């Protein structure tokens, strides 16, 4: 599936979503990890929580 590049008159939010989905679909096929996964989300959540709860 080809996702078009951004042009000067492109609807940027729609193109950003299309490219995010493209990377999400490509990761398992290509063996890459360009899209954050659940483990990334957990680490981010714990990092934020540690800063917020520290006094």
Tokens 């929580």 locate to 49
pLDDT band at 54, cuts 50/70/90? Answer: low
Coil vs helix vs strand at 18: helix
Taking the model in full, what pTM does it have? 0.49
pLDDT tens by residue, 22-53? 888 888 899 988 888 899 999 999 999 998 87
- What CA–CA distance (Å, rounded) separates 17 from 24? 10
Question: What pLDDT does 17 receive?
Answer: 83
List, as own/partner pairs, every contact residues 6-15 make where C-beta atoms lie below 8 angstroms and the sequence separation is at least 24, other chains included: none
- CA separation for the pair 34, 51 (Å, rounded): 26
* Residue linked to tokens 């299309």: 18
């Amino acid at each position: 599936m080809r996702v078009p590049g951004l042009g000067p008159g492109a609807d940027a939010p729609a193109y950003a979503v299309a490219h995010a989905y493209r990377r999400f679909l490509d990761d398992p096929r290509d063996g890459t990890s360009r899209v954050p996964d659940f483990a990334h989300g957990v680490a981010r959540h714990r990092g934020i929580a540690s800063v917020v709860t520290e006094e």
